[in-house]
Amino acid sequence: MRGFNARVILGAAKPNPRTQHRSAIDRWVLGSSPENDKVGKRRGLKPLFLLATLALAACATIEKPLQDTSLHVAFEQKSRREGFRRVAVVMEDYYYCSPLTRQVFRVPRGFETDFASIPYWASAVFNPIGDDAEPAVVHDWLYAVGEKGKRDEADAIFLNALETAHVPALQSKMMYEAVRAGGAANYGAPSEWRFVDPETEKPAKAPKKPATAVVTTLKSCDDLRGALPRLRLMSDLPHL
């Protein structure tokens, strides 16, 4: 067992509706809130109120997470690639739409990422939990899939993603030049296709590598959130 550090949520992270409403149900049904302790334990609820509470919780746990565009990762405690690059596991499917191409990429749950395939001399400019994290994870996935003839496009998408994420121009350029200079050997390499079971924290059998990293193409990346419920139901994508 490798052992994970604390889970990190990057991007447009919001309070987890599942946790919020589960705790709300616990308070009302189990009588565990401080208010209930003061007035005495409640033995039950009116059926209509309980039904409404459960319906609200079901709505939150099914609909809202389907539209979640934040990146959920857990850092591995001791793992380092090439002795210096931090390694993390994607805990939930992450969808990204590139403004450059309007293509949507899905980084699947369980994918093990070292964020950016950069050489040691460039590691000082990269913060794995900074604004460059999401672009780096997407770039890592594009390199892992390694679609033939698409490396230049993958690097261009990376640079555009850094700029879109408001990473300083000099840092963006340095990271782009770093992957151009040192990333060729990693593009499509078997060593990049690694998966870890988020539940057991053990290496998992990797799914079949897709022919392309592109899930779909949208008219506008502004449509991503609305398209996510449909995309999450697609069955022909890699899964653990």
**CA–CA gap between residue 116 and residue 123 (Å, rounded):** 9
Amino acid 3: pLDDT = 55
Mean pLDDT of 64-71: 76
Specify the range with the lowest mean pLDDT, choosing from 56-70, 76-90, 119-133.
56-70
Contacts with 24 (C-beta within 8 Å, 6 or more apart), sequence order: 53, 57
Q: What is the pLDDT of residues 153-190, one digit of tens each?
A: 999 999 999 999 999 999 899 889 988 988 899 899 99
**184-235 residue pLDDT tens:** 998 999 989 999 998 888 899 999 999 999 999 999 999 999 999 999 887 5
| Residue 55 · residue 73 · CB < 8 Å | no
Q: What pLDDT does residue 58 have?
A: 44
> Residue 223 belongs to what H/E stretch?
none
Instruction: Pick 11 or 50 by higher pLDDT.
Output: 11
Instruction: Determine how β-strand 85-90 pairs with β-strand 71-81.
Output: antiparallel
Query: Do 99 and 160 touch, CB atoms closer than 8 A?
Result: yes
The letter for the amino acid at 44 is G
Residue 20 pLDDT greater than 90, yes or no: no
pTM: 0.71
Number of helical H runs and strand E runs in the chain? 7, 7
Report the pLDDT averaged over residues 31-40.
39
Q: In the predicted model, is pLDDT for residue 63 greater than 70?
A: no
Quote the CA–CA distance of 188 and 55 in Å, as a whole number.
Answer: 45
- Mean pLDDT across the stretch 22-46? 37
Give the list of residues 6+ apart from residue 130 with CB closer than 8 angstroms, or none: 167
Widest CA span of the chain, in angstroms? 69
Q: What is the mean pLDDT of the chain?
A: 75
Give the domain ranges of the chain.
4-66, 78-232
pLDDT grade for 53, boundaries at 50, 70 and 90 = very low
Structure tokens at 56: 């609200």
Summarize pLDDT for 80-105 with one digit per residue, the tens.
555 556 788 999 999 999 999 999 99
Token output for 145: 């899939």
